[in-house]
Amino acid sequence: MAKFFSEREIRAIAVFLPLAGLLVLGVVLVRPKADPAAALRAEAEMEERADTLVMRPFDPNTVDYDGLRRLGLSKHEAVSLLKYRAAGKIFRIPEDLTLCYGIDDSLFRRLEPYVRIGRKYAIAPQEFRRGRVVAEPMPPSRFRLDTVSARYLRAIGALSKRQAEAFIRWRDLSGIYDMEELRACYVVSDSVAAALEPYIIFPERQTAPIDEPVEINTADSAALRSVVGIGERTVVSILNYRGRLGGFVCVEQLAEVPGVTERNYEKILKQICCDSCEIRKIDVNFATPKALGRHPYIPPQTLRKLLKKRQLKGGWSTAEELIEDKILTREEAARLAPYLRFGTRSGSDDE
């Protein structure tokens, strides 16, 4: 019977198999075991860091342990930075943070926008020029927006030098009289505007007396924009709402427009009027579901009841019938009635 392996090959296999077994056994024994407790501690530390995260400007030469923890640093990272500083090290530029053991590149990139090196330690140019070194941000206080300086906006950490100068030019050219116009400035982000809002004192807009009030149903965007209290965004909201509504029956409906604040509403009422003859009515008996559903006074639930009853009944002659059929309440009917027309099959206009 022929042999499959030579004696030399058999001896080699006999030596290899025990060695392979020992190697597998070593890998199994040396492999690190999972430590559930360590994993839970790491997860708890990450959750604690996320819950206390408050990004704000800081000086790494003076910030304390609690301040570092509020910035999102772990306990190990915060203690590492404090030990580095206790050893006599000084942070002169933001990049010096990367020399601190425990501050990796990803953490540095997150902290870099908020690093403010105080004038005492910062590397100043050979020929010092005022304003080159950013001082530690000062806490903001209430200020008038029409007289505030670029230097103050920089000092409280709201804007950079270029942003502050661009903001002052924008303000002097166009004027800023409310939060909507402040957000319209291209160098002011929504987050910065929200942070500054509690401290801003807006100037009163000085306008020439209005000879005639603006008729809100026929006014175009330019005419609406001339009304004190109506900004660019509010103009768009008014035009969109007027289109869905079919026109305003009374000026008080302006309070329903998104973006019209209570403060601006009082100003606007003195400068507008309303001609209810200009409103556009909708034929409740023949209008398409899309046309009916577009009206802000006909919510989806009311629309479903109306269409179902119209299919069975054919239509109505008065708003009172809509109340009797329990499609509208008396209050809803009173609000919607000026916009309804009850057409007949012989003379109806589909909308």
Structural tokens at position 167? 């903001």
Taking only the tens place, the pLDDT of each residue in 90-141 is 898 888 888 888 788 888 888 888 899 887 887 765 454 444 444 567 888 8
Q: Which helix (H) or strand (E) holds 165?
A: helix 161-174
Distance CA 75, CA 296 (A): 55
User: Which residues of the chain register pLDDT less than 70?
Assistant: 1-5, 27-28, 30-36, 38-54, 124-136, 206-211, 345-351
* Residue ranges with strand state E in 75-199: 143-144
Sorted by sequence, the CB contacts under 8 Å of residue 319 that are 6+ apart come out as 328, 333, 336, 337, 340
pLDDT at 128: 45
Beta bridge partners of 215: 273
Q: Is the pTM of this model over 0.75?
A: no
Distance CA 240, CA 227 (A): 17
- Please say whether the beta carbons of 151 and 177 come within 8 A: no
Structural tokens at position 184? 């319209």
pLDDT at 132: 44
pLDDT at 241: 92
Structural tokens at position 174? 């166009």
pLDDT at 173: 82
- Please say whether the beta carbons of 182 and 236 come within 8 A: no
